[in-house]
Amino acid sequence: MTDRAIEAQNLTKRYGSTTAVERLNLAIPEGSVYGFLGPNGAGKTTTMRMLTTLVEPTDGTATVAGADVTDREAVVGNIGFLPEEPPLHAELTGREQLRYIAGLRDLPEADAEARIEDLLDRFSLSGDADKRISAYSKGMKQKVGIIQAMLHDPAVLFLDEPTSGLDPRAARTVRDTIADLAAGDATVFLSTHILPVVDELADTVGVLYDGSLVTEGSPDHLKSRAESGEERTLEDVFLEVTGGISEEA
């Protein structure tokens, strides 16, 4: 790996005459949290799908964990991905789901069992681990999705709305986990509508609007007003650079 966990140059995705992402440039260092913001339809999901090898770019280049995103096998071994709807098998129990993922990741059985137990305990799922996922609440399913994304200790973790459906205690566990991962040199690419989460955790924030990156910088830098010394909120910045479009739109 290089010292950049994610790098993109002129990354572009078109669907026919529609450009979803246009000439995106990223340089995200290892061990950092990158907050990725934008209104619905801005191209955030398409960007994440390109970086996780699920969609091929139309133009431009990108590397994740030092591997080109056109080389799926090289990339997927080093990343974890939580999409907005976690891919779960409803007929399995939570524990069976995680053992299944551990097998796909070729984790040694003893190591996998220890890791699963630790993460189930961290996310307060131990008591429900042997219930079928079909009986889980949205928040419980979200927890399993997060655990399976980080089960193999990936170098780069992509999280799309990780606190969706979680109660405040579980959401705090997710935030603490993200901070711990970054402190341990993992890189977290975080897409969320919850601006305080980004403000708290992100080293760098990028705002995508209409397929283009319209601003980027640390939360403190983006919020500062150089001419007056006053501070805006991250919401103020977001609304300003996206023409007043709300995150909830």
| Percentage of the residues of the chain whose pLDDT score is greater than 90 | 85
pLDDT in tens, 72-121: 999 999 999 999 899 999 999 999 999 999 999 999 999 999 999 999 99
User: Domains in the chain, start-ordered, CATH in brackets?
Assistant: 4-241 (3.40.50.300)
Is it the case that residue 249 has pLDDT exceeding 50? no
Confidence tier at 1 by pLDDT (50, 70, 90) = very low
pLDDT at res. 3: 87
pLDDT at res. 89: 97
Mean pLDDT in the chain? 92
Confidence tier at 230 by pLDDT (50, 70, 90) = low
Helix (H, G, I), strand (E, B) or coil at 165: coil
**What span, in angstroms and rounded, lies between the C-alpha atoms of 164 and 162?**
6
| Reported pTM | 0.92
Confidence tier at 247 by pLDDT (50, 70, 90) = very low
pLDDT at res. 243: 83
pLDDT at res. 224: 86
Is it the case that residue 63 has pLDDT exceeding 60? yes
Dihedral pair phi/psi, residue 87, rounded to 5°: -80, 105
Of residues 143 and 185, more confidence is placed in: 143
Confidence tier at 248 by pLDDT (50, 70, 90) = very low
pLDDT in tens, 9-55: 999 999 999 999 999 999 999 999 999 999 999 999 999 999 999 99
**What span, in angstroms and rounded, lies between the C-alpha atoms of 23 and 9?**
7
For 175-213, give one letter per residue: b (16+ CB within 10 A) or e.
bebbeebbeeebbbbbbbbbbebbbebbbbbbbbbbbeb
**Non-local CB neighbours of 9 within 8 Å, separated by 6+ positions:** 25, 60, 61, 62
Q: Evaluate whether 142 touches 165 at the Cβ level (below 8 Å).
A: yes
Please report, as a single letter, which amino acid is at residue 66.
G
pLDDT in tens, 126-137: 999 999 999 999
